[in-house]
Amino acid sequence: MDKHNILITGGAGFIGSHLADRLVADGHGVVLVDDLSTGSLDNIADLLKHPSVEFIRESVRNEMTMTSLVDRCDMIYHLAAAVGVQLIVDRPVHTIETNIHGSEVMLNLANKFRRKILVASTSEVYGKNTKVPFVEDDDVTLGPTHFTRWSYACSKMVDEFLALAYHDQYRLPTVICRFFNTVGPRQTGQYGMVVPRFVRRALRGEPIEIYGTGKQSRCFCNVSDVVGAIVKLMACDAAEGKVVNVGTDESVTIEELANKIIDMTGSKSDTRRLSYEEAYGRPFDDMLTRVPSLEKVNRLIGYKPTVTLEETLRQVIDFERARM
């Protein structure tokens, strides 16, 4: 296997740090860039002891720094983004600027130095589509612009358009991955991520706050399955210029998730309903269901998720318990 020097933006984040673990284990050199706005040095503490890992605290919007890093690398995983519903609601300007301008810088530099780039996108771009499962070329329906939560979906759509434009116009090798609710150890609940938030409350015996009806369903995919998929997609020539769903199609309602976590932790917590307005301090638009079609990713790389929701929740519970 060829050894590469690989750049990961958002490298101290949840998915970025797990990806770095995998790439280092595979024998590659890794450069991690993160401004630590949502990433954490705790996520990469062990990695930083490794001689083939370099960390730079910097925003991907700093074109001067990023130019020298892209020049030195063989390929790029562009994972840096503003993530989490709470962060998006609280800091919409940061969300839009980070996601759009950050990708603009990275795609421009990838093209300049002719580096293959994988761009992280999100299931949020499907918006209020109700046709399940979501297929990559489905139409997109977003809510009105006064709901700030759609700014995230819209900014990631612009990222996709830009990546596809670079591929079409300049033949830049790009791969775009739409992630569906990736979960696992190291994920922060600080910005609204539901699994770590529920697990921490259950372990502390606090009421688990369910926003909305609790009937909305999601498909939670283990980060190890996601990392395995994106490494294979980066090596897959047929994936270039494509948008690919990455996740699991095992679905659970938020209410069922809360009860499962209470049961698995042996917690005395009960559940409490909050309206979106109570939770976020403003009206909020949500989608009832989100299930990916995995046909394309299976066709490209033979992908099938291997880790069940129960195993994933056990990993998160064990991780949070140890941290507490």
Positions marked active-site: 152
3-state class percentages of the chain: helix first, strand second, coil last, to nearest 5: 45, 20, 35
Burial of 257-271, coded b for 16+ CB within 10 Å and e otherwise, reads: bbbbbbeebebebeb
Burial of 108-118, coded b for 16+ CB within 10 Å and e otherwise, reads: bbbbeeebbbb
Whether residue 224 contacts residue 187, with contact meaning beta carbons closer than 8 Å, is answered with no
* Token pair of 314 as six digits: 């056990």
Q: Compute the Cα dihedral for 235, 238, 243, 245 and give only its sign.
A: negative
**Unique residue bearing structure tokens 């301008």:** 101
The candidate with the shortest Cα–Cα distance to 112, out of 159, 172, 56, is 172
Cβ-proximal residues to 161 (8 Å cutoff; 6+ apart), any chain: none
The candidate with the shortest Cα–Cα distance to 229, out of 246, 249, 250, 248, is 246
| 3-state SS, residue 45 | coil
Neighbours of 91 (CB within 10 A): 16
